[in-house]
A and B are shown apart, each in its own frame.
Chain A
Amino acid sequence: MTNIPFLRPPEVIRRSYSDDRPALAASNWITLWEQQAIDVGLVGVPLAKAARNYAGVDGAPNALRKLLREFTTYDIERDADLRSLRVSHLGDVELFATDVARSQAQVEESLTTIFAFQPRFLLVVLGGDQSVTYASFKALRRARQLRTGLVYFGSYYALRALPEDVGDSRPPRAAIPDDSALRALLEEGLLAGRNLAQIGLHGFWGSREEKLFAQAQSVSVVTARESQDSGIDRATTGALEVAGQATEAIYVAINLNVLDLPYAPASQDAQFGGLRASELLSAAYSLGLDPRVQAIDLVGIDAYRDQVGLTVDAACAVLLNFLAGVNARS
């Protein structure tokens, strides 16, 4: 057995014993990983404390695991059954309660080992706040040593300048705040601006400084309105083209706050003016279908304040549509 640092078994194991054959509940389809060969692994990263606006996104991995009970493996839209895809729960990455930098380092170390695991599988990272993208992308780069592009769906740029007063500044590293996650990847040279494609930005957020930085770095930005004008499929194809230009792998980051607020009312920092749920689900399928995509994260799901459960439900739907795309890869 490979020792995977800081990986603990999932806190929730939810199964269904109601006899609904021939249907298969998604909760029963996804197995516990014992390092067997799989196609897709799900790992929880309940890191919430890098957020400028602290929200209950640490509750998301458990909430998602519980809600999978309410879905089956059959995809009506594409008349496809996902059950032959081998998907497992890996567990959660262990964090350190009072040190965000240390927590991010533990995430990076744990995911680096997971990304290096043989045989390889596609990794789904369940956040957590946006800073999870930083640690996870970095782990993918470290483990696989591939030039990697990034397709990002979110409401804000996540390109805010890194604070000079870095907080957990004890050497050797500082914590990365959630809204600086992509800035940090660019500044550390892990990601080229021309391979970063952002879709769905909207609302009143941050400052013009981030847009100017994006322009200077040749980042491709399609706002929510622009993607709706051109059509989400065209925007997604364009984003994959950008992220795939002269790279060997693509990483997908989806913050649920890309959705219009009523579709995901408990997404972190949600604002009106985002994508419709059907648009994000369609995009998720297209992203899953692309064989260059090696990892995806879902972040910004405030499960503790998701009173009607809409946001966790939306995240499950994004996950399953993405997996439907993966299943349809030829």
Chain B
Amino acid sequence: MEVHSAQSKAIPPHLHPPEIVRTTAYEDVGMLKVANWIKPWDFEERLDAGIVGVPLAKSGGYWKGVFEAPNAIRDTFAWFCTYSPDFDVDIRDLVVRDIGDVEMHTTGIVLSQERILATLRELYLSFGCDFMPVIIGGDHSIVRPSVRAFREGRNETVGLIQLDAHDDLRQFTWGGPTSGTPFRGILEDHSVEGRNFVQIGLHGFGSSKTDLDYARDQGAHRMSMREVRKRGVENVMEAAIAYAGDGTQAIYVSLDIDILEGAFTPGTGSPEPGGMSPGDLLEAVYLLSCSPKVKALDLVCIDPLKDIRGLTVRMGCAIILTFLTGLYQRKRGGEG
């Protein structure tokens, strides 16, 4: 990591401590609850992964309660442990901390998007890039500034894997940089080149051919949900890593929770029938996180205010922990 002067280590002005600091008293011998494990970061400790909340909810066409997702996930970590029988590993040796939230402006939606870019970029530039950022949205509009900050903060070429029910490639004519537009924005910004952009899991009647043709003309890759079902998760993730990693130095994974079958995701803005099963999604996340090129994750469109019994929020927690499991195995295997 490059050593910066003390001056450049200023905490970005719109980065606030986490709004919820959750611990739990219910912890058996030998058990470590995730809420007790992931503490607020002191901006000193060396990190393996850092969580940043980006609670922007106003970029969509109608009301969404996705601003509450970072807090809901923090709160729900009290129900999870660091050990998983699925992988028979305990990830407690990873240093994972809660960096806090980017502050959103009440009425300035584009201003909030600009703040996300400035804040994350400053975070990476000031505190180094050798940790895995885990960005919790927010609606999907946050991915454009987040990927750009990642690209500019790391000064590396970036590939992008999008797991999503919808293409989010819409044009800006209807309402500006809405939550339906971020991937068009990313391609226009050249944060990622089309040939390193992979869309996985698109399904349902929620996209337009015009927008998908635009991505195809940029050289982007697409594997619809039907294709995932036919080829299998492992095969598709291997292909995705190959496309996104072809000639790039880092891969950013953007995960919209609505890739899941709608029946499993009451807490999202546009639940779609015909989506991925939770088991397949966790496997996909694990396979991606095992790739040493994968260096960032965002998780968007979890709406705790529409959720039922916290199901969707819990899935969000499971995704983050499964992702960290792959990271742990990479570290244990000698990487980093």
Chain B residues with CB below 8 A from A169, complex form: 108, 111
Partner of B106, one of A48, A55, A163, A304: A163
Say whether B57 faces chain A, with CB atoms less than 8 Å apart: yes
A49 at the interface (CB under 8 A from B): yes
**B176 at interface, CB cutoff 8 A:** yes
Residues of B within 8 A of A96 (CB): 175-176
Our pick among B106, B141, B177 for the contact of A177 (Cβ within 8 Å) is: B106
Given contacts A96-B176, A98-B176, A98-B177, contact A50 B109 (CB under 8 A): no
A54 CB–B CB distance under 8 Å: yes
Contact B63 A97 (CB under 8 A): no
A97-B60, A98-B59, A305-B305 known; A49-B175 Cβ under 8 A: no
Most buried by A among B57, B107, B175: B107
B63 near A56 with CB under 8 A, answer yes
Chain A, residue nearest B105 (CB): A167
A57 lies within 8 A of chain B by Cβ: yes
Nearest opposing residue in chain A for B58, CB measure: A49
Contact indicator A54/B63 (Cβ below 8 Å)? yes
- The chain A residue sitting closest to B59, CB to CB, is A98
A168: B residues at CB distance < 8 A: 107-111
Main secondary structure of the interface of B (DSSP, over half): loop
Which of B62, B106, B175 has a CB less than 8 Å from the CB of A98? B175
Q: How far is the CA of A314 from the CA of B246 in the complex (A)?
A: 59
| In the complex with contacts A54-B57, A54-B58, A54-B67, A167-B107 CB distance below 8 A | yes
A100 touches B63 (CB 8 A): no
- Closest residue of chain A to B108 (Cβ to Cβ) is A167
List A residues 282-319 near B (Cβ within 8 Å).
302, 304-305
Decide yes or no whether A323 CB sits under 8 A from chain B: no
Q: Is A59 an interface position by the 8 A CB rule? A: yes
Please name the residue on chain A nearest to B60 by beta carbon: A97
A101 proximal to B (CB < 8 A): yes
CB neighbours (8 Å) of A163 from chain B are 106
Asked if B178 is an interface residue, CB under 8 A from chain A, the answer is yes
Residues of chain B within 8 A of A175, CB atoms compared = 107-108
Cα of A274 to Cα of B79 in the assembled complex, Å: 38
CB neighbours of A167 from chain B (8 A): 105-108, 111
Among B41-77, those with CB < 8 Å from A are: 57-63, 65, 67
Contact with A along B107-150 (1 / 0, CB 8 A): 11111000000000000000000000000000001000000000
Interface status of B26 (Cβ within 8 A of chain A): no
B306–chain A nearest beta-carbon distance, Å: 8
| B-chain residues with CB within 8 Å of residue A99 when the two chains form the complex | 109-110, 176
Give Cα A50–Cα B106 distance, bound, in whole angstroms: 7
Answer yes or no: B174 CB below 8 A from chain A CBs. Answer: yes
Say yes or no: is A20 at the interface (Cβ < 8 Å to chain B).
no
- Residues of A within 8 Å of B, CB-based: how many? 30
Cross-interface CB contact of B63 among A59, A166, A177, cutoff 8 Å: A59
Contact B107 A59 (CB under 8 A): no
Contact partners of B58 in chain A: CB under 8 A: 49, 54, 98, 100
Q: Say yes or no: B105 contacts A97, CB within 8 Å.
A: no
Cα separation A168 to B177 with both chains bound (whole Å) = 14
- A92 at interface, CB cutoff 8 A: no
Q: How far is the CA of A55 from the CA of B306 in the complex (A)?
A: 12
Contacts of B305 in A (CB 8 A): 305
Bound CA span A55–B178, Å: 18
Can you list, as one digit per residue, whether each of A91-105 has a CB less than 8 Å from chain B (1) or not (0)?
000001111110000
Known: A167-B111, A168-B111, A305-B305. A97 touches B106 (CB 8 A): no
B110 CB contacts on chain A under 8 angstroms: 98-99, 168
**Most A Cβ at <10 Å: residue of B109, B110, B141:** B109
For A59, list chain B residues within 8 Å (CB): 62-63
Within 8 A of A (CB), among B156-195: 174-178
In the complex, how many angstroms separate the beta carbon of A95 from the nearest chain B beta carbon? Answer: 8
Task: Give the distance in Å from the alpha carbon of A96 to the alpha carbon of B105 in the complex.
Answer: 17
Q: Is A165 an interface residue (CB 8 A)?
A: yes
Residue numbers in B under 8 Å from A234 (CB-CB): none
Contacts of B107 in A (CB 8 A): 49-50, 100-101, 166-168, 174-177
* Minimal beta-carbon separation of B118 from chain A (angstroms): 14
- Is A97 in contact with B108, judged by CB distance below 8 angstroms? no
Determine if A52 is an interface residue (Cβ-Cβ < 8 Å): yes
CB of A164, distance to nearest CB on chain B (Å): 12
- A58 contacts chain B at the CB level, 8 A cutoff: yes
A174 to B105, CA, bound (A): 13
With A98-B109, A168-B107, A177-B107: A57-B63 Cβ-Cβ less than 8 Å: yes
B110 and chain A: residue at smallest CB distance: A98
Report Cα–Cα, A48/B65, bound state, in Å: 12
Interface residues of B in 245-275 (CB under 8 A from A): none
Residue of A whose beta carbon sits closest to that of B104: A54
Whole-angstrom CA separation of A167 from B174 in the bound complex: 21
A302 to B178, CA, bound (A): 22
Interface residues of B in 312-328 (CB under 8 A from A): none
Residues in A with CB closer than 8 Å to B105 are 165, 167
Q: Which residues of chain A are within 8 angstroms of B60 by Cβ–Cβ distance? A: 97
Q: Given A97-B178, A98-B176 in contact, is the A49-B62 Cβ separation under 8 Å?
A: no
Which residue on chain A has the smallest CB distance to residue B180?
A97
A residues near B (Cβ < 8 Å) are 48-52, 54-59, 96-101, 163, 165-169, 174-177, 302, 304-305
Ordered by A's residue number, 5 sampled pairs between the chains whose C-beta atoms are within 8 Å are A56-B63, A96-B175, A99-B110, A167-B108, A168-B110
| The 6 A-B residue pairs with the shortest CB-CB distance in the complex, in nearest-first order | A97-B175, A167-B108, A175-B107, A56-B63, A98-B176, A167-B107
18 further contact pairs, Cβ within 8 A, besides A57-B63, A174-B107: A49-B58, A49-B107, A50-B106, A50-B107, A54-B57, A56-B63, A96-B176, A97-B59, A97-B61, A98-B59, A98-B109, A98-B177, A99-B109, A163-B106, A168-B110, A175-B107, A177-B106, A302-B63
